[in-house]
Amino acid sequence: VSRDALIALYHHSYGWGAGDVIAVTGLNGLESQRIYKNFRRWRESGWQRTMDEMGLTKAELVELESQRQRQRQRFNSEAERLIRVAQGHYRKSEPDHYPCLSRSQWSEMFAQGYGCDYRIWHLALCLDCMQTAWGLGSSESSGEKPRLELQVRP
């Protein structure tokens, strides 16, 4: 997974922009600038290249978007089910490197300012930890916990 695609998961999963990702993950300085670059590259070329490599046609993308608009709750429920299947594989392939943390462990990581790469990777790929760590990155993200709102296009 390229870093651009990884960062784009936040948009495609929750509808967030670069500023939202920075706030949720508690990043600052140089890391923040990298997030903006990742979003830009994904929009400019990464997304289309990925669609081409996967063999998705424009008609299939239009149909996906239509399904999302017509049956949003069902569409997002199915997306969450598929994400959890993928997470099961992710958990088996990297258990020592990407363990789920408790709220207090996430809180310590955010407060001490370490684990930036870990936060970016793990929170993008783990719905449960996103819920657990919600609100620790910045006061702006302390409202309602995020729900999966799948976005088809960047």
The single-letter code of the amino acid at 148 is L
Percent of the chain with pLDDT over 70: 90
Residue with tokens 């997304």: 47
Domain ranges of the chain: 3-141
Alpha-carbon distance values, 70 to 12, 66, 77 (Å): 18, 6, 14
pLDDT value at position 145?
85
pLDDT value at position 70?
97
DSSP string, 71-91: SHHHHHHHHHHHHHHHHHHHH
pLDDT value at position 132?
92
Lowest mean per-residue pLDDT among 38-47, 60-69, 137-146: 137-146
Confirm if 147 and 29 have CB atoms less than 8 A apart: no
**Whole-prediction pTM value?**
0.86
Distance CA 25, CA 46 (A): 22
